[in-house]
Amino acid sequence: MSNLAVLATHVGDFGWAGPWWVIFPLLWIAVVSTVIWLAARKRRRCSIVDRPLEILAGRYARGEIDINEYRSRRDEIRGIS
């Protein structure tokens, strides 16, 4: 009898009996979901500050504001006093 057939007939002997066949997949789903949630949260947090800075840089590039106003507003957006 091949090794695979022996293993297949003794699955219960290797700890697969009971609730573990449900718990481990649920654990992996929870881990993957948490990683995806954290990555999305970080991306959203970065875009909250980046978008206003892009708009401000565009206004400065078009000459709508001078360098002093640009620096002042940039520091205010970044939270630097």
pTM of the entire predicted model: 0.41
The predicted-structure confidence for 10-59, as pLDDT tens digits, reads as follows 555 555 556 777 788 899 999 999 999 988 887 766 666 678 888 999 99
Q: What residue ranges do the domains of the chain occupy? A: 19-78
> Mean pLDDT throughout 73-77?
89
Round to whole Å and give the CA distance between 73 and 79: 10
Round to whole Å and give the CA distance between 27 and 15: 17
Q: What's the number of CA atoms in the CB half-sphere (13 Å) around residue 26?
A: 5
